[in-house]
Amino acid sequence: MWGDELAPLPQLEQLISASSIPVQLSWPAPPLRPAPDSVRALYVNAWAFGGKRFWDLVRLADSTEINSLVIDVKDDTGFLTYRSRVPTAIGIGANGQLRAPDAAQRLAVLHAHGIHPIARIVVAKDPLLARMKPTWAIKDANGGLWHDRLNFAWVDAFNDSVWVYAAQLAEEAVQLGFSEVQFDYVRFPDEPRSKMATARFQSRRPGESVRDGVARNLQLLRERVKPLKVPFTIDVFGMTTYASGDMGIGQIWEDLVSVADVVLPMVYPSHYYGGIYGARHPNSEPYKVVKAALADGQRRSTELGNPTAEIRPYLQAFTLGQPRYTPEHVREQIRAAGDLGIGSYVLWNPRSAYDPRIFTTPTTQLGRKPSGGSGHHVTPELEAVRR
């Protein structure tokens, strides 16, 4: 495993003492440190945060340009990383699979190393919450809960209680020591019309569209996060920078950048359909696709004429299809963002395993043979790595 190449870290108790950095904070807690001017982050799943890989990631940050970690607080299972005192979490059993019971101590280590900790909270894809609070869930016209293609139940994104729960978890995360909160799945399911035909949203207001529902509840979420004095950031589909409609999920670029402090489009080259941006096989042309997608977002933000959210892209650090991704493929995406003046990014790998050579490989353009064609589509085979 690549982490073995790095020098071992001292044990946690050697790194930090309770007298030097508090791990029990009184509420309300200010953020322990402001965000870096350029956030260069790695996604860290809950198991990696709570296990031995945590130390590999700390060493990696200590020795590279990485200065931040995006850590799952609530992932798309609905279970929490550490024990919560939020009544809804207790009531539905979200504390039933704790991945990092010593989260406060691990956060203290990150602060001691100058690493910016960001709490990731999944909102609408929460099968546990849907099952335990069915009145908050999407119903099926044929009876019971509606399920997506992978048989996961979703909560109803029209229901403001779902978003209040996410905000309560954010408050607790900041109290624990996180310096930023990032909300994912701030949308409706990305399913074919045939699959959505039986979905019933009992919390939908008269005449309200899915776009209206997302916009209304993002505003609610923003207002509840504002007193925490931490950045309010949201993860969104990469195609939002390109698509004129809401793709059936309720996300419109102009809405998103008008409400958040930071918007993170997931511009993974493997998620784009052949022909978009003149790339016959987008996954083989990471520089071209990422640069074009982010340029679209910059242009649309500028056209609003008002201050808008910072763009901080999620970049692909995993393999989906051909070619097999190397450190050079990842670095090309970082370079594409940098060439547009975007110095912040988050790398996504579902296993939270990152090759250190990503941060030392010279940047050279990979095959960028121009091709014709047009069109775009987000394929259905992406759930293994999509959020």
> Domain spans of the chain?
2-382
With residue 176 as reference, give the H or E element that holds it.
Answer: helix 160-176
pLDDT digit string, tens, across residues 292-329: 999 999 999 999 999 999 999 999 999 999 999 999 99
Token pair in block for residue 63: 């020795």
DSSP 192-256: -HHHHTTEE-TTPPTT--HHHHHHHHHHHHHHHHGGG-S-EEEEEEGGGGT-SS-TTTT--HHHH
CB–CB of 273/378 below 8 Å? Answer: yes
Which of the four CATH numbers 3.40.470.10, 3.30.70.3270, 3.30.420.40, 3.20.20.80 does domain 2-382 have? 3.20.20.80
Burial of 151 (0-12, 13-18, 19+ CB in 10 A): exposed
Which is more confidently placed, 144 or 368? 144
pLDDT above 70 for 385: no
pLDDT band (50, 70, 90) for residue 11: very low
Burial of 161 (0-12, 13-18, 19+ CB in 10 A): middle
| Residue-averaged pLDDT of the chain | 88
Average pLDDT over residues 1-28: 38
pLDDT digit string, tens, across residues 16-33: 333 333 334 443 454 567
Looking at residue 34, what is its pLDDT? 85
Average pLDDT over residues 275-281: 96
CB–CB of 131/153 below 8 Å? Answer: yes
pLDDT band (50, 70, 90) for residue 360: confident
Burial 194-226 (b: 16+ CB within 10 A, else e): eebeebebebbeeeeebbbbbbbbbeebbebbe
Question: Model's pTM, two decimal places?
Answer: 0.87
